[in-house]
Amino acid sequence: MKVIGTAGHVDHGKSTLVLALTGIDPDRLAEEKAREMTIDLGFAWLTLPDGETVGVIDVPGHIDFIKNMLAGVGGIDAALFVIAADEGVMPQTREHLAILDLLQVSAGVVALTMIDMIRNDPDWLELVQADVSEALEGTALASAPIVPVSARTGQGLDVLKATIAGVLSQVPERRDTGKPRLPVDRAFSVAGFGTVVTGTLSDGALEVGQEVELVPSGLRARVRGLQTHKQKLERAVPGSRVAVNLSGVSKEQVNRGDVVALPGALRPTVLVDVTLRMVSDLAKALEHNQPVDFYCGAAEVEARTRLLGAESLGAGETGWVQLRLARPVAVQRGDRFILRQASPSRTLGGGRVVNPYPGRRWRRFRPEVLAMLRALESGDPPGIFVQALRREEPATYGQVLAASSLDKTSALDAFLQLVREKHVVVLDKDWVAPAAFDVDHETSPGVPSAESWGKGTISAADKQRVAALQSLLTAETWAELQQRLQVILAGFHRQAPLRPGMPREELKSRLQGKRQTWSLRFFNDLIGGLVAEGLVGDEGAVVRLADHEARLSSKQQADVDRLFKLFAATPYAPPTVPECIAAVGDDVFQWLLDSDRLVRVGEDVVFAPEIYEAMLQRILEHLQTTGSITVAQVRDTFGTSRKYALALMEHLDAKHITRRVGDERVLRKGGATNPSGLL
Ligand code: GDP
């Protein structure tokens, strides 16, 4: 379904021409609209000679004209540019032409109307035609055909319809990325139906019964009904003018400029990077930080300019600009917009949104920022995918997809290519690249090319696995994280050479920095990736550099040797914890525990591990033969004191090996089935 929009100076016969072409009076529809008596769109439609139905937008008023040109965010498909033959090119003719040019509306037909008024003067017609051609020169509409018509006599109308059909046949079909957007240009309520919104649908189809989200408010609603050109539909297609009956929201909750989208598919933004071209008759150059009005889709919002690559932008100049919007709007990469100044009211320029989610204020005059914007504008999917990932990372595949505004197939292609070329790193556990994908295309010419990935050679299951990926990074960030991790861990090991590694939580907060909070899932994937790279050892509670090994100084070693002599001298009544700490210090004592050189059984009591193991075996044997044991028996068996015997038995209780019954300990059920490995 395609849409054309009228343009041209006031009173040059636009509405009359639309009536003559379509049999529908747009002015009468406008009246009905004002009284909200109809849920029709207030737009006419035209059946072309080839049977195709085309929406025709014609609304009086200059601002309405701009909005109509922007309608459907991709812009109208073609302009019906109306110029009265008796008056020729007038000021608004030029202004509308300038706007069409800014929006790069290159498909169009000029209707040189009211030729009945100049019937007797072929010279005049020639003169006006030359005048019009001159005005079109150098604009996007330079090659638009000029068709003389009269709405009054009907002369030329058939030629005009055929010419419109010819021009539209050259216009590419609206893209369908499966992410429908309907910028709301009207919201009203209809008795018995409830809330109805209208707009031009783009990027995907809408269906009755679907749940939708209003962006930026985030309100959810359901599609109760759909209409296009007064016809009830189950499914509305991109490019068509649509009225949507919504349940779950009131008319008051919907604003002009809101966008109806699938839940979660669109994120509102207050910062947008754009490429901007100034009109050629700009009175005063656009300044940095200048207040402007931003028109995009059906939205109109105040904004301030941030000129990224120039001090100012003069007439006809083009530049990179970051716009800070006064309130959030839903826009996407590639959306066309117009900038105007409020008073005196005039068009300043227009262009395309290059990056809807810059996420932060760019510093001005930065070559890397300008290079990134150029990559985004060039529209190459891998470049766009990487830029989106760079803004979000670490990111899930779904987040990158949403931020990139790429369609699913281009995104998948781009992603697989980027992974293959090692620009993007996947850290998800168990991730294996799809089978068709590790193949070396140079040496295996028979296998599908990279271009065909995602277009059928990747299985549906593989597509799902890609869509579910959680932990993606750009290669640069991955390299940078490895570097930082090495610095952080090396520092930690230097400070605490005896500790086995850095506690996980501490490492996570150091690595992620202040600006981000990583999911635990991502952090674990990250550590997994680092282990696979051979960079770190994962000890569960702590993480260490792969080659880290606790080492004692010679003095510490001497202290430990001396302490262990004491342990050997009285193995069953060894030095207590405070005595150990006094002998070797806190750190070394902790290291002796961490490295299993001592086993702690109580607040004050530790044993050498082989002694602990031997005692445990003896106690278990005793329990198995006699059924129970007392603390006194333990004390006497090992010739130790009550303090050690009690600590050991309480330890075994706590480990669920024994159970206390009065003065005795008995074996817990299952407690002795695996006595080794209990340490
Ligand atoms: P708009 O403001 O561009 O929509 O212009 P209108 O369609 O309202 O037309 C302005 C005036 O010109 C009206 O009085 C029309 O009747 C008249 N008009 C429009 N088209 C023709 C035409 O082809 N021939 C003649 N003689 N008058 C026309």
Domain count for the chain: 6
Over the stretch 67-82, which tens digit does the pLDDT of each residue have? 777 766 566 889 999 9
Q: Is residue 598 part of a domain?
A: yes
Task: Decide: helix, strand or coil at residue 209.
Answer: coil
Which atom of ligand 1 sits closest to the CA of residue 58? 4
Q: Is residue 415 part of a domain?
A: yes
- Looking at the structure, tell me whether residues 112 and 220 fall in a common domain: no
Reduced DSSP (H G I as helix, E B as strand, rest coil) percent helix, strand, coil of the chain, to 5: 35, 25, 40
Q: Is residue 674 part of a domain?
A: no
Q: Is residue 348 part of a domain?
A: yes
Give me the CATH number covering residue 523.
1.10.10.10
Domain boundary among 238, 261, 284: 261
CA of 23 to the centre of ligand 1 (A): 15
Q: Is residue 672 part of a domain?
A: no
CA of 186 to the centre of ligand 1 (A): 27
Give me the CATH number covering residue 39.
3.40.50.300
List the residue whose alpha carbon is closest to atom 25 of ligand 1: 114
Helices 397-404, 381-392: axis angle to 10 degrees equals: 120
pLDDT at 607: 96
CA of 151 to the centre of ligand 1 (A): 8
Compute the CA torsion angle 17, 22, 25, 29 (nearest 10 deg). -130
- Looking at the structure, tell me whether residues 149 and 16 fall in a common domain: yes
Q: Is residue 679 part of a domain?
A: no
Q: Is residue 367 part of a domain?
A: yes
Say whether the peptide bond before residue 394 is cis (omega within 30 degrees of 0): yes
- Looking at the structure, tell me whether residues 210 and 307 fall in a common domain: no
Pair of tokens at residue 353 = 């949104």
Domain interval for residue 600: 554-667
Q: Give the chain's residues under pLDDT 70.
A: 26-43, 59-63, 71-75, 120, 359, 405, 435-457, 670-679
List the residue whose alpha carbon is closest to atom 19 of ligand 1: 13
Q: Are strands 536-538 and 606-607 parallel, antiparallel or unpaired?
A: unpaired
pLDDT at 676: 47
Q: In what order do the strands lie in the sheet with 542-545?
A: 502-503, 542-545, 536-538
Helices 586-594, 554-569: axis angle to 10 degrees equals: 70
Which atom of ligand 1 sits closest to the CA of residue 19? 7
List the residue whose alpha carbon is closest to atom 24 of ligand 1: 114
Domain boundary among 442, 468, 494: 468
How many CA atoms lie within 13 Å of 92's alpha carbon, on the beta-carbon side?
19
Ligand 1: which residues within 6 Å by Cβ? 10-16, 113-114, 116-117, 150-152
CA of 76 to the centre of ligand 1 (A): 23
- Looking at the structure, tell me whether residues 20 and 141 fall in a common domain: yes
Give me the CATH number covering residue 299.
2.40.30.10
- Looking at the structure, tell me whether residues 636 and 581 fall in a common domain: yes
- Looking at the structure, tell me whether residues 8 and 134 fall in a common domain: yes
- Looking at the structure, tell me whether residues 532 and 560 fall in a common domain: no
Q: Is residue 678 part of a domain?
A: no
Distance CA 226, CA 207 (A): 8
Over the stretch 84-94, which tens digit does the pLDDT of each residue have? 999 999 988 99
- Looking at the structure, tell me whether residues 23 and 83 fall in a common domain: yes
- Looking at the structure, tell me whether residues 453 and 502 fall in a common domain: no
- Looking at the structure, tell me whether residues 336 and 384 fall in a common domain: no
- Looking at the structure, tell me whether residues 219 and 364 fall in a common domain: no
- Looking at the structure, tell me whether residues 117 and 215 fall in a common domain: no
List the residue whose alpha carbon is closest to atom 22 of ligand 1: 114
Q: What is the 3-state secondary structure of 592-623?
A: HHHCCCCEECCCCCEECHHHHHHHHHHHHHHH
